[in-house]
Amino acid sequence: MRLQWDEEAEAFRRELDDWLDANLPPTEKMREPKLSSAHLPDWAREWQRTLFDAGWLVPGWPPELGGRNATPVQQMIYFEEFARREVPRSLNPQGLSICAASIHDFGTPEQRERWVLPTLRAEITWCLGMSEPGAGSDLAGLSTRAVLDGDRFVVNGQKVWTSGAHHADWCMCFVRTDPEAPKHKGISALVVDMKTPGISCRPLPELTDPDYADFNEVFFTDVEVPRENLLGELNGGWPITQGSLAHERGMLWIGNANNVENGVNELVELGRQLGLGGDGRFRDLVASLYIDSQAVKLIGYRGFTKFMRGQPASEHMLLKLFSSETERRLYLTGMEALGADGVDLDRPGPSGWREGAWATQYLRSFSGTIAGGTSEIQRNIIAERVLGMPRV
Ligand SMILES: Cc1cc2nc3c(=O)[nH]c(=O)nc-3n(C[C@H](O)[C@H](O)[C@H](O)COP(=O)(O)OP(=O)(O)OC[C@H]3O[C@@H](n4cnc5c(N)ncnc54)[C@H](O)[C@@H]3O)c2cc1C
């Protein structure tokens, strides 16, 4: 079977390819290690702005919002090309894909004017204040409290795992505004200026490198937030927690599929270096990972086809779980192949975006199985919503 797009779609790909060839930032800059998710170096701000000006930042949106009204097929091609070239659109993905999109969907015209365009043009960066020490998987249990007092909210509480908070200009922060209401119904979304007195960030050193931190604990003590920074309705924050670029959300798997496929190629190269070409067990593991990498892609395309036909597509509920668990298995296979050398953090590992020791990549590979909903939670969702099993 050979999958291919029609000629019109391929013409779109050629246009994008030509543009990328002419405009891409130097590869070594894009691969600069250890960039925080809200601290944009000059080249990254310029790159996002260049994408915006050319209508290649959010292709499904209209030109005034950094797009070109691209069709779903064109958007799919766009994500395929960015994944194939391993090019980031923005180094503040939570700002672009979640915060700007949510403000666009739920904000007032004044809020859109104030925050959406500056975010798209990379003039401001964002963090996302959802998780708390007592509310991760069960996000609706969050307890950071905001009390409305005249024309301002007063916020007290704590967030955790807040990526890039110590560099971000703004936070889209979910707070409890009605403690008496059922838990999904007492939550509001506030846009918080991270320079407001009473906010302190404590960066958390990472497992992959204790000298580097992107996550933070964020503490709020009597933080005053103007009432006009309420996003959506008071106590109407829950639908916003689900927000992101709805049309794009279903396509993000393509980047994961590409990561897994590239990872398998790196594993083959490692096997060559270690002389494992004749090792039956290693060969079996690599073959099974290769099959899974292709399965991720095919499941994604099948879901996309159903979406295009207006049919319900449960495939997208499987992809996050399947691709993140496959990636974790992939780096574990690399670690096992290396044996005791696997723990040597100075031993060169994969190249390109995943540059760094295999041990580092192995530790990093756990993050995909946690961020945005853990594998256990994904399994619960599949059991209940795809397989129709009873809730436990
Ligand atoms: C790379 C990365 C970036 C992140 N960035 C952000 C960010 O910017 N902002 C933000 O707010 N958060 C962020 N997070 C946090 C992330 O959203 C949470 O870690 C995630 O939702 C899980 O919550 P938790 O860590 O509190 O784990 P918990 O919910 O406490 O879960 C602990 C364990 O129990 C299991 N478990 C929980 N409930 C169930 C259940 N019902 N059934 C079966 N098992 C269950 C979980 O699967 C997990 O193994 C980030 C996380 C990562 C890894």
Measured CA to CA, the distance from residue 12 to residue 74 in angstroms comes to 7
Task: Identify the bridge partners of residue 190 per DSSP, sorted by sequence position.
Answer: 173, 230
Alpha-carbon span 270 to 204, nearest angstrom:
32
As assigned by CATH, the class of the 126-236 domain is: mainly beta
Choose the most confident range, by mean pLDDT, from 23-32, 187-196, 254-263.
187-196
Instruction: Tell me the β-bridge partners of 174.
Output: 189
Pocket test for ligand 1, best of 144, 374, 375, 382 (most atoms within 8 A of CB): 374
What residue ranges of the chain are covered by domains with CATH 1.20.140.10? 252-386
Give CA separation, 211 vs 159, 205, 208, 366, in Å.
22, 6, 9, 19
pLDDT band for position 355 (cuts 50, 70, 90): low
pLDDT at 53 over 60: yes
The pLDDT assigned to 86 comes to 85
Is the predicted pLDDT of residue 225 greater than 70, yes or no? yes
Q: Does domain 7-120 have CATH number 1.10.540.10?
A: yes
**pLDDT computed for residue 246 by the predictor:** 53
pTM, rounded to two decimals: 0.93
Whose alpha carbon is nearest atom 13 of ligand 1? Answer: 161
pLDDT, tens digit, 9 for 90 and up, residues 194-223:
999 999 999 999 887 778 889 999 999 999
Q: What percent of the chain has pLDDT over 70?
A: 95
User: Which two tokens mark 337?
Assistant: 């192949």
- Report pLDDT for 351: 62
Q: What is the pLDDT of residue 154?
A: 98
Question: How does the average pLDDT of the chain come out, rounded?
Answer: 91
Q: Report pLDDT for 283.
A: 96
Instruction: For residue range 243-282, list pLDDT tens digits in order.
Output: 655 555 667 777 888 888 888 999 999 999 999 999 999 9
Domain limits, CATH 2.40.110.10, in the chain: 126-236
Residue range 130-188, pLDDT digits in tens: 999 999 999 999 999 999 999 999 999 999 999 999 999 999 999 999 999 999 999 99
Residue 33 pLDDT: 61
| Contact between residue 236 and residue 283 where contact means Cβ atoms under 8 Å apart | no
Burial (CB < 10 A; 0-12, 13-18, 19+), residue 61, is buried
Ligand 1, atom 31, lies closest to the CA of 137
pLDDT for residue 347 is more than 80: no
Dist. CA 214–CA 163, nearest whole Å? 5
Cβ neighbours around 385 below 10 Å, total: 11
Listed in order, the ranges of the chain carrying CATH 1.10.540.10 are 7-120
CA dist 18 and 224 (Å) reads 49
Percent of the chain with pLDDT over 90: 69
CA quadruple 247, 42, 172, 35: dihedral, nearest 10: 90
**Does residue 131's CB lie within 6 angstroms of at least one atom of ligand 1?**
yes
- 169 close to 124: Cβ distance less than 8 angstroms: yes
For 1-8, what is the mean pLDDT? 86
Q: Which residues, other chains included, contact 322 with Cβ-Cβ below 8 Å and sequence gap of 6+?
A: 292, 295, 296, 299
CA distance 262 to 322: 16
Ligand 1 center to 316 CA (angstroms): 20
- Given a cut of 80, is residue 349 above it in pLDDT? no
CATH code matching the domain that covers 252-386, chosen among 1.10.150.120, 3.30.720.110, 1.10.357.10, 1.20.140.10: 1.20.140.10
Per the structure block, which two tokens stand in for 377? Answer: 């939670």
Alpha carbon separation from 124 to 64, 115, 120, 331 (Å, rounded): 18, 8, 8, 35
For the cut 90, the answer to whether the pLDDT of residue 350 exceeds it is: no
pLDDT of 344: 80
Per-residue pLDDT, 296: 92
Q: Which of 96, 60, 108, 110 minimizes the C-alpha distance to 172?
A: 96
pLDDT greater than 80 at residue 329: yes
Contact 38, 125 (CB under 8 A): yes
Q: Choose which residue among 128, 132, 138, 161 to substitute to test ligand 1 binding: the one with the highest number of ligand atoms within 8 A of its C-beta.
A: 161
Check if 377 has its Cβ closer than 6 Å to any atom of ligand 1. Answer: yes
Closest approach atom of ligand 1 to CA 139: 21
Element (H, E) at 84: helix 72-85
Cα torsion through 90, 41, 350, 332, rounded to 10: -70
What pLDDT is stored for residue 244 in this prediction?
58
**Ligand 1 pocket residue status of 136, Cβ below 6 Å:** yes
pLDDT digits (tens, 9 = 90+) for 85-128: 888 899 999 999 899 999 999 999 999 999 999 999 999 999 99
Residue among 60, 64, 88, 61 at smallest CA distance from 74: 60
pLDDT for 38: 83
The least confident of 26-40, 165-179, 322-336 is 26-40
